[in-house]
Amino acid sequence: MSVTIAISGKGGTGKSTIAALVIRWLNNRGQTSVLAVDADANSNLNDLLGIGPVEAIGTIREEMKEKVNNLPGGMTKQQFLENKIHRSLVETRNFDLVAMGRPEGPGCYCYANNLLRDVLRNLSDNYQYVVIDNEAGMEHLSRRTTQQVDFLLIVTDPSVRGVQTAGRISRLLKELDTRVGHKYLVVNRARGELSPAVREQMAEEGLELLAVLPEDDAVLSQDAEGKPAYEIPAVSAICRAMDECLSRLLAG
């Protein structure tokens, strides 16, 4: 069974950066059975991981819609999709990456989506760790990448309003059919201690704090130079903070 870590939160809070650093942390511990799932339609996880463009599954699904009545030589739809997904999977020495592409409209539970979900679930079974970088909003998590999520990290900035939004995401999740083992708040880009108001808001929202990650110039300069977050120096404050919290989270 794989361990699934999903990262969600409001736009621009650092989800993709954190996803890349989780993957890096696993790799640095010799864990290379890792599937990275880019569930953001405006995917850029590949950039943060330092690899080239990825063909999104979304385009594959479009293709399947067109060809559904004319599949090559006796192939089932499931086989066709599985085949395609395996071809779009980018394999590296340290991890594999798959990108989900564009979301469907709300309320779409079409056949292709369900198939896609099954295929992703099957694919996930081949890995020890699955790390899902979500886009802002929960549709992906609920409908397209639905599988057991062991750890959901909700990322926020260190503001009262940010924590309120994280609380809303957390409640929304409860209403959706997503199965989540443990849910944690990750406060990112903190400058010093969290304010008492932020801590109060966390308590009010019933959010459990996993980590406070610092605002770090190493992240900014890496970004400014167009270099992948995956390669941020291990001595940087953010990497040390990630190391501390992931050791706790994934211990044993």
Ligand X SMILES: Nc1ncnc2c1ncn2[C@@H]1O[C@H](COP(=O)(O)OP(=O)(O)OP(=O)(O)O)[C@@H](O)[C@H]1O
Considering the rule CB under 6 A, would residue 14 count as an interface residue with ligand X? yes
Neighbours of 9 (CB within 10 A): 25
Shortest distance in whole angstroms from residue 114 CB to Mg ion: 26
Instruction: Output the six-digit token pair for 145.
Output: 């990448």
Instruction: Output the six-digit token pair for 183.
Output: 């849910």
> At 116, is the secondary structure helix, strand, or coil?
helix
Shortest distance in whole angstroms from residue 226 CB to ligand X: 11
Shortest distance in whole angstroms from residue 82 CB to ligand X: 28
Distance CA 48, CA 65 (A): 31
Figure out which of the listed residues 15, 84, 144, 183 binds ligand X, where binding follows CB under 6 A.
15
Q: Based on CB atoms, which residue is closest to Mg ion, 16 or 178?
A: 16
Shortest distance in whole angstroms from residue 52 CB to ligand X: 18
Considering the rule CB under 6 A, would residue 220 count as an interface residue with ligand X? yes
Region binding ligand X by CB under 6 A among candidate stretches 27-35, 161-169, 170-178, 210-218:
210-218
Region binding ligand X by CB under 6 A among candidate stretches 8-16, 26-34, 58-66, 93-101:
8-16
Residues binding Mg ion (CB under 5 A): 15-16
Considering the rule CB under 6 A, would residue 189 count as an interface residue with ligand X? yes
Nearest in space to 209 (alpha carbons), one of 200, 221, 218, 217: 200
Contacts of 105 (CB under 8 A, 6+ apart): none
Contacts of 65 (CB under 8 A, 6+ apart): 112
Shortest distance in whole angstroms from residue 180 CB to Mg ion: 20
Shortest distance in whole angstroms from residue 229 CB to ligand X: 7
Amino acid letter for position 165 = T
Region binding ligand X by CB under 6 A among candidate stretches 9-17, 25-33, 89-97, 202-210:
9-17
The side-by-side arrangement of strands in the sheet containing 96-99 is 90-91, 96-99, 34-39, 129-134, 3-9, 149-156, 180-190, 209-214
Which residue of this chain has its Cβ atom nearest to Mg ion in the complex? 16
Nearest in space to 203 (alpha carbons), one of 185, 179, 176: 185
Site for ligand X in 21-80 (CB under 6 A): 40
Considering the rule CB under 6 A, would residue 219 count as an interface residue with ligand X? yes
Rounded to 5°, the CA angle 185-190-191 comes to 160
Amino acid letter for position 215 = E
Site size toward ligand X (CB under 6 A) is 18
Region binding ligand X by CB under 6 A among candidate stretches 11-19, 89-97, 174-182, 191-199:
11-19
How many helices and strands (H and E) does the chain possess? 10, 8
| Chain positions contacting ligand X, by CB under 6 A | 11-17, 40, 136, 188-189, 213, 215-216, 219-220, 223, 238
